[in-house]
């Protein structure tokens, strides 16, 4: 359970969310919690009728619910999207403390770097020559900005983030701990003697507004030109995005996925966990790539694919169902082959002497 900054009337919260309050609007919200651990002062939520049993057993004092789900006598806020409205409620009830503006003692800031007076640079952070940090942005300890990096307004860079030279962030970008943007792409050419020679990686990484990138994710700089993450894209932890990729607006890339060079994800495409692509492929607008899928060709807009190599969703489900029946089918096939004389009969076990 998480306590709120100060108790809030349920009716006031409902009004802020643009929803109707049902029951005691004077209920004072003291905290937010999931159904299983919520107490009498807490606000919780249920997404759908699938959570009816958990709701009945919960001790939550107030809830956000879809229409038609019994609140069990509790005061409630009715919502067509309880998950979204609960998230918005938490944002209002448990606001994060804004960091103190200014450059802390122990931060290393180049003389020609431009840091807005409202930005916050923590001790141990490094801001390189010619770098720019916009208004309201926050650099936590051990953030390193190489020369020429540009950080827009109201960005949050958590501990251990590294932005290589020339990387550019838009506004309201969130980088979780350990993110590395602009490391060299994996590019090598074989010389006359068969040895690998490094191909210079002289491009950059551009991250547009309202992107969030998860912990220990890496986005490589382009060989030439840009690797670009477009507005509103969300990238999970431990993702590898190679040189010259383009991640479209509102696209989603889930944990441990990897994109080879020059892969394009169009607007709203979704890559689930541990999926991967060969290079120079396009995943179309609103396409869906299932967990652990391996892409060897383009995915058309709106198509849902699973498996390695990729298959349309229905074909993959049929193949998985057939695979479960394969051992029995093989036993029956061998029995038929023996009856037809196409397979030798199994020798009978010898009698013990």
* Chain segment 170-188, per-residue pLDDT in tens: 999 999 999 999 999 999 9
Q: Is 93 helix (H, G, I), strand (E, B) or coil?
A: helix
Per-domain boundaries in the chain: 2-93, 102-311
Q: Which pTM value belongs to this model? A: 0.89
User: Is the C-alpha dihedral spanning 54, 56, 62, 63 positive or negative?
Assistant: positive
Token couple for 285: 């607008």
What is the rounded CA–CA span in Å between residue 205 and residue 213?
13
What is the phi/psi pair of residue 44, to 5°?
Answer: -135, -170
Q: What is the pLDDT of residues 207-256, one digit of tens each?
A: 999 999 999 999 999 999 999 999 999 999 999 999 999 999 999 999 99
Q: In this predicted structure, what is the pLDDT of residue 302? A: 97
**Adjacent-strand bridge partners of 127:** 109, 145
Question: If the chain, 353 residues long, is cut into consecutive pieces of 10 residues, what is the mean pLDDT of each piece?
Answer: 88 96 96 96 95 95 95 96 96 86 97 98 98 98 98 98 98 98 96 96 97 98 97 98 98 98 98 97 98 97 96 92 91 89 73 61
- Average pLDDT value for the chain: 95
The radius of gyration of the chain's CA atoms, rounded to the nearest angstrom, is 27
Beta bridge partners of 289: 271, 305
The percent of residues above 90 in pLDDT, for the chain, comes to: 90
Q: Clarify whether 132 is annotated catalytic.
A: no
The single residue of 243, 280, 296, 314 carrying the catalytic annotation is 243
> Which pLDDT belongs to residue 167?
98
Cα(272)–Cα(84) distance, rounded to whole angstroms? 21
- Of 205, 248, 199, whose CA–CA distance to 225 is shortest? 205
CATH T-level assignment (fold) for domain 102-311: UDP N-Acetylglucosamine Acyltransferase; domain 1 (2.160.10)
Among 5, 90, 50, residue whose Cα is nearest residue 77: 90
For residue 184, which of 166, 168, 201, 164 has the smallest C-alpha distance? 201
Return the CATH superfamily for domain 2-93: MurE/MurF, N-terminal domain (3.40.1390.10)
């Amino acid at each position: 359970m998480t306590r709120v900054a100060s108790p809030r009337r349920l009716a006031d919260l409902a009004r802020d969310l643009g929803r109707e309050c049902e029951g005691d609007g004077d209920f004072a919200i003291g905290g937010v919690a999931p159904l299983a651990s919520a107490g009498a002062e807490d606000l919780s939520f249920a997404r759908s009728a699938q959570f009816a049993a958990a709701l009945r057993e919960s001790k939550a004092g107030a809830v956000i619910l879809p229409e038609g789900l019994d609140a069990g006598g509790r005061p409630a806020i009715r919502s067509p999207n309880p998950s979204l409205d609960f998230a918005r409620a938490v944002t209002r009830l448990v606001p994060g403390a804004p960091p103190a503006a200014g450059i802390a003692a122990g931060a290393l800031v180049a003389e020609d770097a431009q840091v807005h007076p409202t930005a916050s640079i923590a001790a141990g952070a490094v801001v390189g020559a010619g770098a720019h940090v916009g208004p309201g942005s926050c650099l936590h300890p051990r953030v390193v900005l190489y020369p020429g990096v540009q950080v827009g307004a109201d960005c949050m860079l958590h501990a251990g983030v590294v932005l290589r030279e020339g990387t550019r962030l838009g506004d309201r970008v969130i980088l979780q701990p350990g993110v590395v943007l602009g490391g060299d792409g994996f590019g090598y050419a074989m010389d006359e003697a068969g040895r690998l020679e490094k191909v210079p990686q002289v491009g950059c990484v551009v991250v547009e507004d309202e992107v969030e990138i998860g912990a220990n994710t890496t986005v490589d700089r382009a060989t030439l030109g840009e690797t670009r993450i477009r507005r509103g894209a969300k990238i999970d932890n431990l993702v590898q995005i190679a040189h010259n990729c383009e991640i479209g607006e509102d696209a989603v890339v889930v944990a441990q996925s990897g994109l080879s060079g020059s892969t394009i994800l169009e607007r709203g495409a979704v890559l689930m966990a541990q999926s991967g692509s060969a290079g120079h492929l396009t995943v179309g607008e609103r396409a869906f790539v299932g967990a652990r899928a391996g892409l060897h060709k383009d995915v058309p807009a709106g198509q849902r694919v699973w498996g390695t190599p990729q298959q349309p969703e229905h074909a993959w489900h049929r193949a998985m169902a057939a695979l479960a029946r394969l051992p029995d089918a093989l036993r029956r096939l061998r029995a038929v082959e023996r009856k037809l004389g196409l397979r030798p009969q199994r020798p009978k076990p010898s009698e013990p002497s």
